């Protein structure tokens, strides 16, 4: 049975657990292993289907972390939580992915979409995410002729590459906020059915991201533009947009959403599940 075919009768909710000092929303809260495990258990109680453990922030401008440090952060947490829930490892490093699967992770969530060999060798499922650029430069004026088509075509190629490498379960993810403007993110949500049509489970992560700060602050015009110098509301004020966008993504056919706010999103998933055709 694949991760995605587990019949919970609704889209899956992946809870975010960043064991980092600098993640843009939960950074610093769970850097202590006991605190991270407690948070993972809290998300399980709230109904999380998967807990996504990360040891390196991908936010724009984030500092790079060594393999050793990333492993030190995530492994003790994965070892415990993997006994209690399916765990995914959010990493772009082959050695971290390999050790994480050995410690019990069942899904390699790779924002660089390049670890398909590790997933194939270890038997883990694999998320191929679209991004443009690196955390250092990805938000420097990203441009697309047709963002939905370009992201879809990229994901089709990466998914095929992963399948050919022998990965048994390949997920795709449009990479909301990774080298995209607010308008690009909204277009990707509107065109999500085109990604769903690729035939792979689609994962969407909008939770607390900057474009929702512009929605909260009212600085995004209906035409999708943001005025020069407009400031987004801070991540703490982006709950409503996070829930609304996750609900929208699930209604559009996303198989799973990656969120910080598990309890509320599970309720939304329970609503979408029965009404989605």
What stretch of H or E contains 70? helix 67-81
Query: What is the closest distance, in whole angstroms, from the C-beta atom of residue 129 to ligand HH2 in the complex?
Result: 4
What are the two backbone dihedrals, phi and then psi, of residue 124, each rounded to the nearest 5 degrees? -80, 155
**Half-sphere exposure (CA, 13 Å, Cβ side) for 274?**
5
* CA-based R_g, the chain, Å: 17
> Could you say whether residue 187 binds ligand HH2 (CB under 6 A)?
no
The answer to whether 258 is a known catalytic residue is: yes
The answer to whether 132 is a known catalytic residue is: no
Pick the catalytic residue from 152, 180, 209, 238.
Answer: 209
Distance from CA of residue 9 to its chain's centroid? Answer: 21
For strands 50-54 and 87-90, give the pairing. parallel
Pick the catalytic residue from 158, 258, 270, 276.
Answer: 258
> Could you say whether residue 25 binds ligand HH2 (CB under 6 A)?
yes
Cβ closer to ligand HH2: 100 or 225? 100
> Could you say whether residue 77 binds ligand HH2 (CB under 6 A)?
no
> Could you say whether residue 176 binds ligand HH2 (CB under 6 A)?
yes
d(CA 3, CA 1): 7
d(CA 36, CA 262): 15
Give CA angle at 140 (259, 143), nearest 5°.
Answer: 85
> Could you say whether residue 90 binds ligand HH2 (CB under 6 A)?
yes
Strand segments, DSSP code E, in 125-241 are 125-129, 170-173, 203-204
Query: What is the closest distance, in whole angstroms, from the C-beta atom of residue 58 to ligand HH2 in the complex?
Result: 4
> Could you say whether residue 258 binds ligand HH2 (CB under 6 A)?
yes
Quick one: which of 3, 24, 101, 261 contacts ligand HH2 (CB under 6 A)? Answer: 24
Query: What is the closest distance, in whole angstroms, from the C-beta atom of residue 258 to ligand HH2 in the complex?
Result: 5
Cβ closer to ligand HH2: 136 or 225? 136
> Could you say whether residue 200 binds ligand HH2 (CB under 6 A)?
no
Query: What is the closest distance, in whole angstroms, from the C-beta atom of residue 22 to ligand HH2 in the complex?
Result: 7
Per the CB < 8 A criterion, the answer to whether 189 and 246 are in contact is: no
> Could you say whether residue 129 binds ligand HH2 (CB under 6 A)?
yes
Q: Measured at CB, which residue is nearest to ligand HH2?
A: 205
87-90 β-sheet, strand order: 170-173, 125-129, 107-110, 87-90, 50-54, 12-18, 256-259, 203-204
> Could you say whether residue 245 binds ligand HH2 (CB under 6 A)?
no
What are the two backbone dihedrals, phi and then psi, of residue 229, each rounded to the nearest 5 degrees? 80, 0
Quick one: which of 109, 122, 210, 265 contacts ligand HH2 (CB under 6 A)? Answer: 109
**Rule CB under 6 A: which residues touch ligand HH2?**
16, 18, 20, 23-25, 54, 57-59, 90, 109, 111, 127, 129, 173, 175-176, 203, 205, 258
């Amino acid at each position: 049975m694949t991760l995605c075919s587990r019949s919970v009768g609704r889209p899956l909710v992946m809870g975010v657990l960043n064991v980092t000092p600098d993640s843009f929303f939960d950074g610093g809260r769970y850097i202590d292993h006991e605190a991270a495990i407690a948070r993972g258990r809290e998300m399980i109680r709230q109904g999380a289907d998967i807990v996504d453990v990360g040891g390196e922030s991908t936010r724009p401008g984030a500092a790079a972390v060594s393999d050793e440090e990333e492993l030190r952060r995530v492994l003790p947490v994965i070892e415990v939580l993997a006994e209690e829930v399916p765990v995914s490892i959010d990493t772009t490093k082959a050695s971290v992915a390999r050790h994480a699967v050995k410690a019990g992770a069942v899904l390699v969530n790779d924002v660089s979409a390049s670890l398909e060999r590790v997933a194939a060798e270890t038997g883990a499922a694999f998320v191929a995410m679209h991004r443009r650029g690196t955390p250092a430069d990805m938000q420097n004026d990203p441009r697309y002729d047709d963002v939905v088509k370009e992201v879809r075509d990229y994901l089709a190629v990466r998914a095929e590459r992963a399948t050919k490498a022998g990965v048994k379960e390949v997920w795709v993810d449009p990479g909301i906020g990774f080298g995209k403007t607010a308008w690009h993110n909204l277009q990707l949500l509107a065109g999500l059915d085109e990604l769903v049509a690729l035939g792979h489970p689609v994962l969407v992560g909008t939770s607390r991201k900057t474009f929702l700060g512009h929605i909260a602050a009212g600085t995004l015009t209906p035409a999708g533009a943001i005025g020069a110098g407009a400031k987004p509301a801070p991540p703490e004020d982006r709950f409503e947009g996070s829930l609304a966008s996750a609900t929208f993504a699930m209604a559009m056919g996303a198989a799973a959403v990656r969120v910080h706010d598990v309890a509320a999103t599970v309720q939304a998933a329970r609503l979408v599940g029965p009404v989605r055709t």
